[in-house]
Amino acid sequence: MTKKNSSIFHFAIIFILILEIRTQLSDESEFLIDRSKRGLTYVPKNLSLETTILDISYNYISELQMPDILSLSKLKILIISHNRIQYLDLSVFKFNQELEYLDLSHNNLEKISCHPTLNLKHLDLSFNPFDALPICQEFGNMSQLEFLGLSATQLQKSSVQSITHLHISKVLLVLGDTYGEREDAESLQDLKTQSLHIVFPTGKEFHFILDVSVGTTVSLELSNIKCVLDDNGCPYFENVLSKLQKNSRLSNLTLNNIEITWNSFFTILQLVWRTNIEYFSISNVKLQGYLDSRDFDYSDTSLKALSIHKVVHDVFSLPQGYVYKILSNMNIQHLTVSAAHMVHMVCPSQISPFLYLNFSNNLLTDTVFINCTNLANLKTLILQKNQLKELVNIVHMTQEMKSLQQLDVSQNSLMYDESEGNCPWARNLLSLNMSSNILTDSVFRCLPPQIKVLDLHNNRIRSIPKDVTGLETLQELNLASNSLAHLPGCGIFSSLSILIIDYNSISNPSADFFQSCQKIRSLKAGNNPFQCSCELRDFIQSIGQVSSDVVEGWPESYKCDYPESYKGTPLKDFQVSELSCNTALLIVTIVVPGLVLAVAVTVLCIYLDLPWYLRMVCQWTQTRRRARNVPLEELQRTLQFHAFISYSGHDSAWVKNELIPNLEKEDIRICLHERNFVAGKSIVENIINCIEKSYKSIFVLSPNFVQSEWCHYELYFAHHNLFHEGSDNLILILLDPIPQYSIPSSYHKLRALMAQRTYLEWPKEKSKHGLFWANLRASINIKLMEKAAEIH
């Protein structure tokens, strides 16, 4: 890279210095007060006593008095540039003993009064309408002075005598519009400064004789050089440049804002070529006239780097080939020609010493340096912001550049088609910048074999092909501002340590990224449309397991984009339960209790004989449904029997010999299955009909009864009719004692009835039989209606 010129604009230095100080005080914002661009006409009152930096630039302040800043004892930096101050007495700062930086540039100052107590490091009085140099005798006491900005319309050697003993790092001298009427060519010779920047009057033809070859100067910058009226060149300015040979220490020369002819341009270039200058920079150049062909003498030069930036010209019949030939054959190491509307560059005529070429922001096409074998020493080539279109042509261009290590072809219109064949890049190419082009996924099949740093941001890449090989050496990869949907792993990038992939379309980055990329030390993946889900939760947890400085921009650049309920939520605040994310745990949590419940219900159903009751309900429902089809008159018939008797066949002798005779002799109608069931109907339906047509249902209980399934059916339907009709229609006769253990589990209703209801127990003593029959007849004795009797 070209060594940076130490001669840069004074306002750039000011900006950088302020920025550094503001950065240092960023945690103590109360020390910094910015009132710039507020339309103020006076210094604001009631400022904090802790103020360290005060910026009141770009206002309409016309005077500065001691009371304005008297209380600011800790003030170190005061910026009051771009105001309307006409007079200043520096004694107003006598109570600001810590003041180091004072910027009064761009005011209307014509006179200042000095004060002996100031010991500034930075004093800027430039761009003010001073007639003579505003250098007071007291300036000689500023032993710490590093920057001094001055303005004047006339220079005298005696004006600088009070500061000639000071070694000032940088001096800025702005010459007024009337400068040159009375000029002392030697006025600056006693000045001691490492960097000197002289701004000549704007728009004025250069007819000055000022000797700028200050003996201590290492870096010299000259601004506003206009020389277009003399057809013979620019003799005054050429004379100034010729004197630079006297200063053996001068190594940096910058010419800024130049308006000259083409012939003068190359004359100046030739003059500088023969001096001790090593770094020559020309910027903001306007060229006029025609160019005469001439030979350029490349011999006896100390120049290492030439930078030409921002060139405009109004001649369209220029012999461009001649210009390109002069530039390409320069025997220097670093050459920059940028923003010069250059449409081509020829190959050097012999092996070139170029190590660095920068032709950015021009109009170069793919044909530049094709088949050029004389750039074998070139290590860095920058073709940024040109008219390059075919990547394959760029590949073949580099093939002959055996030493090329860095290539920048960003901000072009490069495309790559796989059908165009292999990509024989320069084998030593280590850093490649192809950002801001129109490259797609296929570019990964056309990369240098030893590439270490690759920049592909702002292209049209959607994914990285999985079968790509040969990128084992890649260490830094920038894929920002593309359309990638997934966070790539490091399977094909085994050496990857830096990955930039922000501003893509990544919604669910893989939680295995850090496990796959063991060597990663910097990941920048913020500003993606993250979908806050279970998969993302795993990625967030993996971030917590790496060092805090690995994930750049965390957590402020990592926010949920979907669903809407989480939009804008920082990923670090996104919470989701383990249960909703762990499918296996969710299944176990739901299925296991369900299985336990099912087993419990099954066991309970079996224990309570639920299948049997379900069958009964089914039979009852079917019977009731058939009953709906019977005419209403038939359904409204009244009872036909006093009692329906249910008993086991093993107890039929007692029923027929004892029970029935004793009841029927009192004109009680009894319903028995063997004489009253209707042929053709199902047993269940007959049971239900008999129970419904009987006032009571008598059950003869005995050990034989509990062993009969049909008796259980009759008992079930009679009990159901009890609740259905809302009456007490059950009579239990205990013929023989029934032990609880002998009652089957399916007879739990019988267990409950025997425990809850009063039953009649058949007495074994004959003396008690009369009372038994009397109680039984009384419980079922009811007068049946005549219509019912006739039907019977």
Cα(454)–Cα(475) distance, integer angstroms: 8
Q: Is the pLDDT of residue 585 over 70?
A: no
Q: Containing H/E element for 149?
A: strand 147-152
The rounded percent of the chain whose pLDDT value lies above 70 is: 84
The rounded percent of the chain whose pLDDT value lies above 90 is: 48
* Pair of tokens at residue 592: 């296991």
Q: Yes or no: say if 357 and 379 are a contact pair by the CB < 8 Å rule.
A: no
- Model confidence at 20, in pLDDT bands (50, 70, 90)? very low
Q: Is the pLDDT of residue 755 over 90?
A: no
Query: Is the link from the previous residue into 563 a cis peptide, with omega within 30 of 0?
Result: yes
* Pair of tokens at residue 652: 């039929």
Question: How many C-beta atoms surround the C-beta of residue 748 within 10 A?
Answer: 14
- Predicted pLDDT at 365: 95
3-state SS, one letter per residue, for 177-237: CCCCCCECCCCCCCCCEEEEEEECCCCCCCCCCCCCCCCCCCEEEEEEEEECCCCCCCHHH
Backbone φ and ψ of 603, nearest 5°: -60, -45
Backbone φ and ψ of 611, nearest 5°: -60, -35
Q: How far is CA 479 from CA 402, 455, 498, in A?
A: 28, 7, 11
- Predicted pLDDT at 749: 65
* Domain ranges within the chain, ordered by starting residue: 218-318, 640-779
- Predicted pLDDT at 316: 62
Tokens 């014509």 correspond to 110
How would you class 211 by CB atoms within 10 Å of its CB: exposed for 0-12, middle for 13-18, buried for 19 or more? middle
What is the average per-residue pLDDT within 585-593? 73
Structure confidence by residue, pLDDT tens digits, 161-196: 999 999 999 999 999 999 987 788 899 999 999 999
Cα(349)–Cα(372) distance, integer angstroms: 9
The least confident of 85-89, 254-258, 425-429, 692-696 is 692-696
Q: Is the pLDDT of residue 23 over 70?
A: no
How would you class 613 by CB atoms within 10 Å of its CB: exposed for 0-12, middle for 13-18, buried for 19 or more? middle
Tell which wins on pLDDT, 729 or 138.
138
Structure confidence by residue, pLDDT tens digits, 51-65: 999 999 999 999 999
Question: How many C-beta atoms surround the C-beta of residue 407 within 10 A?
Answer: 25
* Pair of tokens at residue 30: 């109360």
The least confident of 166-170, 207-211, 580-584, 736-740 is 580-584
- Predicted pLDDT at 699: 84
- Predicted pLDDT at 688: 80
Cα(513)–Cα(509) distance, integer angstroms: 8
DSSP state of 532: -
Q: Containing H/E element for 101?
A: strand 101-103
Question: Which residue type sits at 440?
Answer: T
Task: Kindly report whether the global pTM for this prediction surpasses the value 0.75.
Answer: no
- Model confidence at 705, in pLDDT bands (50, 70, 90)? confident
Cα(397)–Cα(409) distance, integer angstroms: 12
- Predicted pLDDT at 346: 94
- Predicted pLDDT at 85: 96
**Which residues are paired to 733 by β-bridges?**
700, 760
Kindly indicate whether the domain formed by 640-779 is annotated with CATH number 3.40.50.10380.
no
- Model confidence at 619, in pLDDT bands (50, 70, 90)? very low
Q: Is the pLDDT of residue 153 over 90?
A: yes
Composition of the chain by helix, strand, coil, percent to 5: 30, 20, 50
